[in-house]
Amino acid sequence: MSASLVIGANGQIGSELVDALAAAHGDANVVAADLAPPRAPGRSPFVALDVLDRARLGEIVQRHSVADVYLLAATLSAKGEAAPLDTWRLNVDGLLNVLELARERRIARVFWPSSIAAFGPHTPRDPAPQWTAMDPTTMYGASKLAGERLCAYYFARHGVDVRSVRLPGVISHRTPPGGGTTDYAIAMFHAAKRGEAYRCFVDADTTLPMIYMPDTIRAIGELMAAEPSRVRIRSSYNLAGMSFAARTLADAIAREVPGFSVRYEPDFRLAIADSWPASIDDREAAEDWGWHAHYDLRAMTADMLAHVVADPAIIPANAGIQH
Ligand code: SER
């Protein structure tokens, strides 16, 4: 059987995607790739890979009979502003390396996530349509918008079967998130579980689209399982989960964790958040491949509180990002 290669396998989404693919197709049919081995070895084979090393990527694809590539290695919005050129290189050149292998028919299918960060201040905010003005203000957003156009180009010009969703902020409890603007939501849960107040880097009224990890993994699986003819959009599909203001999340947590409090001290990440839409119109994903989110704010909050471990090593509640 041919294998699935997950690039960025130690990351927030990659680590959970490896397990989901292994459960569906068998441990041996998933290859986990990242810069360094995970702290706790998984059951699927691991390979060290820098996605910018195209020759090594090609070798791995050949050696493991890789058919599908899931490219999750990326630098996110807030962290990306500290090293914009490196962010562009990883996010765009990494994607190009994968698309080129697909063009050469050395891999069959590609999944690559775009983001709500590809939208910008001129995008209608509530909700953001599928086809609309896109004027991202961050290097991360610029790289995602460029990536969308590259996916559409490789499909139209070379027939590459590439599939993508514009992910909202992904909320999860297993790994620390990696420098995103929406990560305040995750940090809030960790602070609450540790019995600490949370210092929030966006405003109380900042409203952003979010999605819970189980829905994220299901969306990726459903999109990749869809008949090619159903996947009419080859740039990236809008995808909605839930939308809430920071204050609404804080209230939802405080109902379960009495005494939990949040102070709002916005930093440069507020401007990033303000440039993104508050909600997403995902009717194309619903019509084309049946997308429907399962988790709302209430269900997500209950599940997060049941699973978040109060371990300061996982994510310091008030971790700042140097800018
Ligand atoms: N979660 C991402 C970020 O905040 C958005 O795609 O950067």
Per-residue pLDDT of 84-100, as tens digits, reads: 999 999 999 999 999 99
* Per-residue pLDDT band at 11 (split at 50, 70, 90): very high
Residue 44, ligand 1, Cβ within 6 A: no
Residue 7's nearest CA partner among 73, 101, 65, 91 is: 73
Tokens of 13: 């989404």
When pLDDT is cut at 50, 70 and 90, the band that residue 178 belongs to is confident
Whole-number Å distance, alpha carbon 64 to ligand 1 midpoint, is: 31
Strands (E), 217-301: 237-238, 242-245, 262-264
pLDDT band at 30 (very low <50, low <70, confident <90, very high): very high
The answer to whether 198 is a known catalytic residue is no
Asked whether 275 and 318 are in contact (CB, 8 A), the reply is: no
Of 70, 140, 237, 295, the active-site residue reads 140
Tokens linked to 2: 């041919």
Buried b (16+ CB within 10 A) or exposed e, 96-120: bbbbbbbeeeebebbbbbbbbbbbb
**pLDDT score recorded for residue 322:** 37
Q: Which residue has the tokens 């009979």?
A: 65
Is the peptide bond prior to 127 cis by the omega test (within 30 degrees of 0)?
yes
Give the residue-averaged pLDDT of 259-272. Answer: 98
pLDDT for 202 beyond 80: yes
Answer whether 0.85 is exceeded by the pTM: yes
CB neighbour list of residue 182: distance below 8 Å, 6 or more residues apart: 168, 169, 170, 171, 208, 210, 273
Residue whose Cα lies nearest atom 6 of ligand 1: it is 115
The pair of structure tokens assigned to 241 is 């989960």
182 ligand 1 Cβ < 6 A: yes
The SS3 of residue 91 is helix
Task: Give yes or no for residue 117 CB within 6 A of ligand 1.
Answer: yes
164 lines ligand 1 (CB under 6 A): no
Q: Which atom of ligand 1 is nearest to the CA of 113?
A: 6
247 CA → ligand 1 middle, Å? 19
Amino acid identity for residue 151 in this structure: C
pLDDT band at 176 (very low <50, low <70, confident <90, very high): confident
